[in-house]
């Protein structure tokens, strides 16, 4: 079907359905502190993605690096949904130079054959989740690590697996970052606002997803300032592999691509039975972010640390974090838009 063919009224209904479905699927995306800092606007044959400043962590993430990464994951989820529904799309990133919050426009170009890879990713999207328990099982298989790295690289971002010495540098950076942040009252308030409790509003991290005791780890995980109710084993996470997700610049366009790459890598990992736990504290603090850049020998800019570990297939893992209702995140616009 050509672009011009997308003019029949029934096409309008099909397009609205497909785009609504895509924005709804994007709601499963992981985000820093489960803030879900995105907003979708649906108009005709296009879906626009915006940063929602009301859910950006002003103290922890003043440059919106982590919010933009999170929105990038949502963008990739929406792309997967449309591809799996059999739509060909054009994605334009940062389409409006006057509006930095307008992160992307996805425009439907016509029908296409859905491929098996995207159909598999679509099934994985609601299953993927964050598991903060120590990884104590078998090591991650090298071929799985290569497949996850390839999925990241297909989205113009890179993944560097840390050597044993670099893991020790990371451990020290993570510890320093957490101490620096915890010393600031405004940071503690922000953390307290978004984490703990039952989270009936649908955003933030509930106690059920926060370890009930400090896990035995070489690299300290996020210190939530209190223990949750998630049961964790007393074993050390010796089987963990750490990797740095990084890109060629420290600019919003590449952060967005980094989020798309995070989605591609995390979905692939889930399909291979590998858990992913992001560690963003070392990226949040300037001095430790620079230390992570030095680990990359300044070949790129670090966006996120990922802990990877093989999952016991019999273990369903911790409960899923809640999500905001889709209608709070999707705005239907009746404005007619013309193709450029």
Ligand X SMILES: Cc1cc2nc3c(=O)[nH]c(=O)nc-3n(C[C@H](O)[C@H](O)[C@H](O)COP(=O)(O)O)c2cc1C
State the residues that interact with ligand X by CB under 6 A: 30-34, 66, 69-70, 73, 129-130, 132, 205, 221-222, 278-281, 304, 320-321
- C-beta of 50 vs 266, nearer to ligand X: 266
Q: How far apart are CB 304 and ligand X at their closest, in Å? A: 6
- C-beta of 108 vs 240, nearer to ligand X: 240
- Give me 109's structure tokens: 């170009």
Q: How far apart are CB 41 and ligand X at their closest, in Å? A: 22
- C-beta of 18 vs 304, nearer to ligand X: 304
Q: How far apart are CB 197 and ligand X at their closest, in Å? A: 13
Is the distance from CB of 241 to CB of 261 less than 8 angstroms? no
Measure CA 305 to chain center.
12
Q: How far apart are CB 195 and ligand X at their closest, in Å? A: 8
Residues near 167 by beta carbon (within 8 Å), at least 6 away in sequence: 218, 219, 242
- C-beta of 30 vs 44, nearer to ligand X: 30
Surface-to-core class of residue 137, CB atoms within 10 Å of its CB (0-12 exposed, 13-18 middle, 19+ buried): middle
- C-beta of 27 vs 44, nearer to ligand X: 27
Distance of alpha carbon 310 from alpha carbon 135, whole angstroms: 7
If one counts every other C-beta atom within 10 angstroms of the C-beta of residue 183, the result is 9
Is the distance from CB of 76 to CB of 311 less than 8 angstroms? no
Distance of alpha carbon 38 from alpha carbon 26, whole angstroms: 9
Q: How far apart are CB 2 and ligand X at their closest, in Å? A: 37
């Amino acid at each position: 079907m050509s672009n011009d063919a997308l003019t029949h009224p029934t096409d309008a209904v099909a397009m609205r359905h497909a785009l609504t479905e895509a924005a709804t699927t994007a709601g499963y995306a992981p985000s820093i502190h489960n803030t879900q800092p995105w907003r979708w606007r649906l108009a005709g044959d296009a879906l626009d993605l915006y940063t929602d400043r009301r859910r950006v962590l002003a103290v922890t993430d003043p440059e919106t690096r982590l919010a933009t990464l999170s929105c990038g994951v949502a963008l990739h989820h929406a792309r997967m949904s449309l591809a799996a529904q059999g739509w060909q799309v054009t994605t334009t990133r940062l389409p409006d130079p006057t509006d930095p919050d307008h992160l992307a426009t996805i425009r439907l170009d016509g029908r296409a054959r859905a491929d098996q890879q995207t159909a598999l990713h679509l099934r994985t999207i609601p299953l993927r989740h964050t598991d903060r328990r120590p990884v104590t099982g078998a090591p991650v298989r090298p071929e799985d690590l290569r497949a996850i790295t390839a999925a990241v690289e297909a989205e113009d971002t890179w993944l560097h697996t840390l050597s044993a010495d670099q893991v020790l540098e990371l451990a020290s950076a993570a510890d320093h970052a957490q101490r620096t942040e915890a010393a600031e009252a405004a940071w503690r308030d922000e953390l307290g606002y978004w984490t703990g409790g039952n989270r009936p509003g649908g955003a933030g991290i509930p106690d059920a997803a926060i370890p009930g005791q400090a896990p035995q780890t070489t690299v300290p995980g996020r210190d939530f300032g209190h223990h949750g109710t998630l049961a964790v084993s007393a074993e050390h996470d010796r089987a963990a592999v750490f990797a740095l997700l990084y890109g060629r610049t420290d600019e919003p366009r590449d952060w967005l691509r980094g989020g798309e790459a995070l989605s591609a890598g995390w979905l692939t990992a889930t399909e291979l039975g590998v858990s992913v736990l992001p560690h963003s504290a070392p990226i949040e603090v300037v001095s430790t972010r620079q230390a992570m850049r030095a680990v990359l020998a300044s070949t790129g800019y670090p966006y996120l640390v990922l802990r990877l570990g093989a999952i016991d297939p019999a273990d369903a893992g911790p409960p899923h974090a809640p999500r905001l209702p889709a209608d709070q995140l999707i705005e239907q616009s009746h404005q007619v838009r013309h193709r450029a």
